[in-house]
A and B are shown apart, each in its own frame.
Chain A
Amino acid sequence: MDFNGVEATRIRQEIDHLKSKKRNIEQQISALEAQLNQLEVNSSTVCPQPLSNGDLSNSNGLSPDMIYRYSRHLLLPSFGVQGQANLLKSSVLVIGAGGLGSPALLYLAACGVGRMGIVDHDVVELNNLQRQIIHTEAYIGKSKVESAAATCRSINSSTQIVEHREAFRTSNALEIVSKYDVVVDATDNAPSRYMINDCCVVLGKPLVSGAALGLEGQLTVYNYNGGPCYRCLFPTPPPTNACQRCADSGVLGVVPGVIGCLQALEAIKVASLVGEPLSGRMLLLDALSGRFRNVKLRGRSLQCEACGDDAVLTRQTFSEFDYEKFTQTPLSTVPLKLNFLSADDRISTKEYNEKVRKGDAHILVDVRPSHHYKIVSLPNSMNIPLSTLEGRLPEISAALEKEVNKENGSNTSLFVICRRGNDSQVAVELLHKLGFTSAKDIIGGLESWTHNVDPKFPTY
């Protein structure tokens, strides 16, 4: 890098620093103005105000109710009246009211953020409640935003809650995010993470980013005070099959809970101008071993396509960018539905059920991982996980032979099933290659079994 480059970086850092100071001063000014207004209102009133009036302002701009409600914050020397006043004037947008968003929203509502926005297009489902603790059974089938907003209002009626019951897309992102000071990314997929990052870069908003899966969590603050953005760290999206989802891999409920709480903490620090936000650093949680690791990240990348020196990202290019194509991943969480076998190699769950009822000789191989098989399985199925299939072909041969002998040489069929009908197709294709040419896939897997044959068969 030449001298000009170094100089430009220094100047940019100086500008960022001054902007942050300016914001701080502006917040102090508006706090003082609010105080002044209140004093003028009070002195112009003819009747003396009763002491118990909740709106009566103290010299620090906080009403008696506020002083009482937030007293434990006010008592903190490092937070105090100024931190609380800043918080009360701030606005935070939480994108996603799921495992991360639930605890984040609860704490943000409780702590006295002035205005809070919630974005989500999903409805509450029973299998959310294990971790999405802001929702209750009464809201199953109803909008997550409606449910979360109701809980937040019941905790703190003085915080303004804005409901955005819509999917977060390039078409509405700029308009929504522009109304808030701080953004919390509590989403669950790669395209959303790139989209939210870019939107925050375009609008200059700090982004509190959290993620959790299985027994691990990650937390950092992007695009804050000259620090790196998500694309500085991950300029190229990961391959699609590297992106595990909670719906497939599982997650211990309290893990996103911990990360969501920490997201609330970082949002509070950024909004109240207190402390040292986790910018340029990342907190990694390994819940199984009980370890937190705080690591130092690279700084802002000058080559970053979002925030770098030559970045061409604007409102216009942002709204035209195809994040699903970029990450090769759909924004919606609808599970993947593969369909690559020919119709001759597949049968529906209803057809399979008919064969079972007629007593047709067959072998049913369930290719799910064994910990899935333990949750629930069809009677008389044998569990051979896809990853072990090649090595366990003799077991299939033996089972087929046994069945043939039992049925006096009649045609014995080989069926393959999994959870949703994707892995079973992969397995059937593999079995065909390995000589089991009669293997057939059961379309739609166990989920289809529940939907089309036996509604009492558990889904997960």
Chain B
Amino acid sequence: MQLTLEFGGGLELLCDSVKSHNINVDPQDGEKQLTMKNLLSWVRTNVIKERPEMFMKGDSVRPGVLVLVNDTDWELSGQLETVLEEKDNVVFISTLHGG
């Protein structure tokens, strides 16, 4: 399954300062669907290069990170249970405080 991942608000620093990633990831053995929970652990292993604790806490993202699936807050699509589809766009963005 092809997905586009984007990192912003400083999270890109955890993956070699690359903001946009075109990835190919498939559901794990025995599973029909790819959920955000699956994707997060895949991202942690395959995309995040340093300080994974700045990206995740437990099996979700750390506080202060907004997750958007196709430009919509993942709270509205089921958070970790959100089922991903071909060509979906997933954005991880850290909330900014500067001004």
Contacts and interface: CB of A to CB of B under 8 A. Distances in A.
B32 to A, nearest CB: 27
Which of under 10, 10 to 19, 20 to 34, or 35 or more describes the interface residues of B? 20 to 34
Residue among A99, A236, A293 with max Cβ neighbours from chain B (10 Å): A293
Interface string B11-36: 00000000100000000000000000
A204 interface: no
A186 B63 contact: no
A298 B76 contact: yes
Contacts of A249: 10, 98
Interface in A229-247: 233-239, 241-246
A245 B71 CA distance: 26
Given A239-B62, A284-B93, A212 B98 contact: yes
Contacts of A246: 98-99
Nearest to A98: B99
B10 to A, nearest CB: 6
A251 B64 contact: no
Interface in B50-66: 53-54, 62-66
Interface in A193-223: 193, 210-214, 216-218
Contacts of A179: none
Interface residues of A, number: 45
A188 B98 CA distance: 4
Contact of A210 (B64, B75, B99): B99
A298 B10 contact: no
B95 to A, nearest CB: 6
Interface of B: 8-10, 19, 53-54, 62-66, 68, 71-73, 75-76, 91, 93-99
Given A211-B97, A242-B54, 9 more contacts: A188-B99, A212-B99, A216-B96, A234-B64, A238-B63, A238-B95, A249-B10, A282-B66, A298-B73
Interface of A: 96, 98-101, 186-190, 193, 210-214, 216-218, 233-239, 241-246, 249, 251, 256, 282, 284, 286, 289, 293-298
